[in-house]
Chain A
C-alpha cells in the first residue's frame, strides 16, 4: 500500500474564489496520477490522468499540474462555483496495478 497524502482535508470558499489542493505521492516508480471529483450520492467522475513530469491539464475552470520528481500534483479551480462542491480525490499508480487513493479534499463553495 502506497502512501498518498492530500491537503487540505477540507476547504470552504466563497463563490468566485480561486482555490487549489495538493496531492503528494511516492516519487519513485511513478506510472500515473489520476484526479477524480466525487459529488455526494453520485459516481466519482474522472477529471485527469497524468503520466509525464511537467504535465499540465485543463478542463474548463479546473486545471492540474504534475511534478513526478518531487512527488506532488496540484489541482486548481478558478472562480469556484457552488456546483464545484465535492470531494476531490487523487490516486497514484506505481509499479503495481492498483489505484492508491488519498483521503480526498472536501470542497464547499457557498454563494
Chain B
C-alpha cells in the first residue's frame, strides 16, 4: 500500500514570495490533515479536511495561508506571502475514518521550508 506522498521535499524561498505544497493521501482515506512543525516544537494542526470539506482551520493564519482539497483526494497548501517565521516542516497526514476518531494518522515525509 502506497503511503502519503508529499512534494517538494525541500524548498528555499525569500520572504514575501509565494510557495505551494502538494499532498496525495493514502487511497480511500477520508480525512486529510496539514501540520506545521517549527524547530523545537511539536507538530501543530493547521487544517483538517473530511473528504473535500473543512472540519477545522482554527489555527490556520488565513491572511497568508490557504488550503484546498478538490475532489476529496489531493490537497495543496499555499503560503502567500511567506514570512521568516514560516520556516518549518509541513506535514501532511491522512486517516481512513471520519474526523475526530482515535484512528491512526499516517504521515508523509514532510516538506522542509526555509524562508530567507
Contacts and interface: CB of A to CB of B under 8 A. Distances in A.
B48 A97 contact: yes
Interface of B: 3-4, 33, 35, 40-45, 48, 55-56, 59, 91, 99-100, 102-110
Contact of A98 (B4, B56, B107): B56
Contacts of A1: 59
Contacts of B56: 96-98
Contacts, number: 57
A51 B102 contact: yes
Interface residues of A, number: 25
15 contacts: A31-B102, A32-B102, A34-B105, A43-B106, A43-B107, A46-B105, A49-B102, A89-B43, A97-B48, A98-B48, A99-B43, A101-B42, A102-B42, A103-B40, A103-B41
Interface in A40-76: 41-46, 49, 51
A99 B99 CA distance: 11
Interface in A9-51: 31-32, 34, 36, 41-46, 49, 51
Interface of A: 1, 4, 31-32, 34, 36, 41-46, 49, 51, 89, 91, 93, 96-99, 101-104
Contacts of B42: 4, 89, 91, 101-104
